[in-house]
Amino acid sequence: MHHHGYTWLGSGFELHRDGPRRHGHPDFEASGVPPLEVAQWLLKSPRLIQGSWEEDPDGAARWYGEQARAHARGFADPHDREVLERRVRGVPERLRQGQDAVGGWWLDGRRFLAVVLVGCSPHALRAEYHCPRH
């Protein structure tokens, strides 16, 4: 199994428009907005993949942490900043167990940040979703 990394930073307005977040919607595949189901990132365009890790949960966790930390000063909820490092430390074990690592934070200015590592080949819950890179 390997994992693909995705990020999205956008307005809450975009996040709440669920049309492009639904598989089957004409804008779904090309839209970087997070899908309603985490595994459906694998159904989006491969150009949205920001990193891939083969059997490297520590490397994937470093990437996850870097993405989140880059925006941590703007987290709207101070508690999210306080627990970020603990959350990042838990990522390698989640990945070793074949799970996804999903982070989502509201930022100042009604923006939302999503940082996601999705298991692939096969996905733990959606084995029918083929790897976007193969």
* 2-46 per-position pLDDT tens digit: 999 999 999 999 999 999 999 999 999 999 999 999 999 999 999
pLDDT at site 124: 93
Two structure tokens written together for 5? 């990394």
Two structure tokens written together for 70? 């880059």
Separation of alpha carbons 61 and 23, rounded Å? 27
| 51 DSSP β-pair partners | 5
Separation of alpha carbons 111 and 24, rounded Å? 25
- Residue at token pair 């975009």: 14
User: Is residue 103 within 8 Å of residue 116, measured between CB atoms?
Assistant: yes
Confidence of residue 133 (pLDDT cuts 50, 70, 90): confident
pTM of the model: 0.95
